[in-house]
Copies of this chain bind each other. A is one copy, B any other.
């Protein structure tokens, strides 16, 4: 299976095999393992290398004064933790490992060299950060105008799409090793209420969620319930290759 980062960026640009090799080598170096719950990057600090999630699941989150915590985004393999660091002085939020997570530490000068030598990479990275902020905007809509049900369904559907893009979803299932409490932090609700909604979704046979794996039992209906319109992800292509993926696959958006 190809490198998640490459799979993701190839939604937008095509790389030559030489370029892919270079990217692959870049991501293969200086891996660091973070255990579940560990803080990968802390608010206020200025990391020198750029961190790329290679495996596992991390979260972009902020702790608020009253102890409450807000997860603003989940980071899956192929996502960068801190592109903003190219420019800004310090992180304005934390990156926390949700499960055991492996990150590649990319040296800034190395990336910069690659950027000058591979012009397509610059565009691809721009695209990547732009879609990241589009996802953020979608989260605002979530919280502003969607019910608890819709919010959870929307998040699940989005995760399905994103995992598919990087080749980590098999058919209609994807790894989702979060507790209901963490899901509550991400959707801005209480754990109790998350539980109630999830129970409902299970009872309606919309989803299955067991052993850290979420399976969507009725993809079109979930999309409908979620009110999902995927154009914000700016993914034009359909997935190639994945044999198990039903004919609905290209139709996810």
User: Which residues in window 84-124 of A have CB below 8 A to B?
Assistant: 84, 86-90, 92-93, 123
Cβ-based interface call for A188 (8 A): yes
In the complex, whether A196 has a CB less than 8 A from a CB of chain B is no
State the Cβ distance, A208 to closest chain B Cβ, in Å. Answer: 26
The secondary structure that dominates the A interface is: helix
Residues of B within 8 A of A72 (CB): 137, 140-141
Pair B236/A64 contact, Cβ less than 8 Å: no
Chain A contributes a number of interface residues (CB within 8 A of B) equal to 41
Q: Would B143 and A144 count as touching, CB distance under 8 A?
A: yes
Give the chain B neighbours of A136 by CB distance below 8 A.
133, 136-137, 140
Q: Which residues of B contact A89 (CB under 8 A)?
A: 234, 236
Known A62-B137, A140-B136, A227-B64: A70·B127 in contact at CB below 8 Å: no
Does A25 sit at the interface, judged by CB under 8 A? Answer: no
Residues B130 and A87 in contact, CB atoms below 8 Å apart: yes
**In the assembly, what is the distance between CA of A29 and CA of B65, in Å?**
46
Binding site for B on A (CB under 8 A): 44, 60, 62, 64-65, 68, 70, 72, 84, 86-90, 92-93, 123, 126-127, 129-134, 136-137, 139-145, 187-188, 227, 231-232, 234, 236
Instruction: Give me 17 other A-B pairs in contact (C-beta within 8 A), A60-B137, A84-B133, A142-B143 excluded.
Output: A62-B141, A64-B141, A64-B227, A72-B137, A72-B141, A84-B134, A87-B123, A88-B127, A88-B130, A88-B234, A89-B234, A92-B231, A92-B234, A136-B136, A139-B140, A140-B188, A143-B188
